[in-house]
Amino acid sequence: MALIAHAQADALGALYDRYGRLVFSLALQIVGDHAVAEEITQDVFLRVWEKARTYRSEQGSVSTWLTSIARHRAIDVLRRQRSRPEHQGIDWALVSPEALPSINGPEVATEATFRRQQVQTALAQLPEEQRQVLALAYFRGYTHRQIAEALDQPLGTVKTRIRLAMQKLRQMLQEE
């Protein structure tokens, strides 16, 4: 560690050769994604390079220090992923016509287009939280449990939002 603290790149390479798999394995176990675990491993050794002077052998072994950094970094990544779901909004105007029943004849096609516009207008009037769970459930095929995990919300909340959204849609579409 003293050599790394004095900017000896070969020493960092030797440290990586010795502990790289350990750090990667721990990160992979926590995040469950190879690419993310590789990034975490790189981050850990970058931090070692930058913070080697802060290492104190009396506080623990090098492997303990490395795994501690890896564990904290992996947990930070998980927290960041949970706080920012990667689900993009649905462009309701682009909902696939295949989602509609088969269309036979111009009158049926016109009626289907009109009904589609009504549904899109009604969806636009729903609160964002309700639109989001409906989009994930009906246009992306997520289960209620998958939606709850993706949005980091209780399962009961997701079910309630879907139920309320469906009730509001039904009411709005019956009024038209």
pLDDT tens-digit series, residues 8-54 = 576 767 778 888 888 888 888 888 888 888 888 888 888 877 776 67
Q: Given this structure, which CATH class describes domain 2-83? A: mainly alpha
Residue pair 136/147 in contact (Cβ under 8 Å)? The answer is yes
Higher pLDDT, 93 or 176: 176
Whether residue 155 has pLDDT greater than 50: yes
Q: What is the pTM of this model?
A: 0.44
Nearest residue to 48 (alpha-carbon basis) of 97, 96, 5: 5
Structure tokens at 2: 């003293």
CATH number of 92-175: 1.10.10.10
pLDDT at 4: 54
Domain ranges of the chain: 2-83, 92-175
Please report the pLDDT score of residue 8 as a whole number: 59
Q: What is the pLDDT of residues 58-106, one digit of tens each?
A: 666 777 878 888 888 888 887 777 765 555 555 555 555 555 445 556 6
Residue 93: per-residue pLDDT: 54
What confidence tens digit (pLDDT) does each residue in 124-143 have?
A: 888 988 888 888 887 777 88
The residue ranking higher by pLDDT, 165 or 65, is 165
CA distance 42 to 24: 9
pLDDT for residue 121 is more than 70: yes
175-to-91, 114, 142 alpha-carbon distances in Å: 24, 15, 29
Q: Is the Cα torsion angle 26, 32, 38, 41 positive or negative in sign?
A: negative
Place 169 in a pLDDT band, splitting at 50, 70 and 90: confident
pLDDT at 114: 77
pLDDT of residue 115: 77
Contact 176, 118 (CB under 8 A): yes
